[in-house]
Copies of this chain bind each other. A is one copy, B any other.
Amino acid sequence: MPLTKAEIARLRSLQDKKHREDLGLFVVEGGKVVTELLSAHYPFAELYATDGWPSAVRTTGLAPQLITAEEMGRISHYPTPSNVVAVGRIARRELAPPALDRGLTLALDGIQDPGNVGTLLRIADWFALDRVVLSPDCADLFSSKVISASMGSFARVEVFTAELADALATCTAPVLGCDLRGEDVHALEPLRDAVIVIGNEGRGLTPAVAARVTRRITIPRFGGAESLNAAVAAAIVCDNLRRSG
């Protein structure tokens, strides 16, 4: 059955954060990302595919609604449409305060680049952190760029949204922040419980979050670069935490 004009308009509108929030839905497009998320058993609500989508993949999870290439061209967010589009329900989890006391948490303070947020989810997944917390001004978790950059980790990592300074105020676990003058990351002892806070790409941590850092950690520098990017710094801290753990 062909898609109605209203269905096409609805699917197209999901590129916009405002419409996503209004409808409580998000969209991802492309065989790679959709397959990654279906393989991770992500519970999509709707799936649209053209004949070109490999049938071997179709058998996983939800049965796709077959649409024509012309319809795909109309719902696609890209100049070159792919052959599959999936729609999921937005569910943002609020953080209950004691949650940060146990396990390893990556807390992102205003990371604005969707590619960086996705890469940080992938790092949290690789190192099996217990959760990621996004401040409300991070790139939107449900944007297609964040989800694509996470390479499937979007489906595997527990993500919460919270005002970080509030969430950290009562946290009993050590709060690690990267700093040029702190403890050597190579000397970190095993930590079963910790929060790693990572600041915005340009301005670093907000003062309210920086005030909650209980241990300042330094990645030793040998050359001339002033800083490392957010995802790289997070990964090095995680590798050292897991090494000593």
Contacts and interface: CB of A to CB of B under 8 A. Distances in A.
B242 A239 contact: no
A179 to B, nearest CB: 15
A192 to B, nearest CB: 13
Interface residues of A, number: 36
Given A119-B229, A232-B232, A239 B223 contact: no
Interface of A: 40, 115, 119, 122-129, 151-153, 156, 185-186, 219-229, 231-232, 235-236, 239-240, 242-243
A126 B239 contact: no
A235 B178 CA distance: 15
A122 B219 CA distance: 14
Contacts of A243: 186, 220
Contacts of A240: 239
Q: How many copies does the complex hold?
A: 2
A225 B153 contact: yes
Contacts of A226: 151-152
A223 B156 contact: yes
A219 B239 contact: yes
Given A125-B223, A156-B223, 19 more contacts: A119-B232, A122-B225, A124-B223, A125-B224, A125-B225, A126-B221, A127-B223, A129-B223, A152-B224, A152-B225, A152-B226, A185-B239, A219-B239, A222-B242, A231-B232, A232-B232, A236-B236, A236-B239, A239-B239
Contacts of A122: 225, 228-229
A121 B188 CA distance: 27
Contacts of A232: 119, 123, 231-232, 235
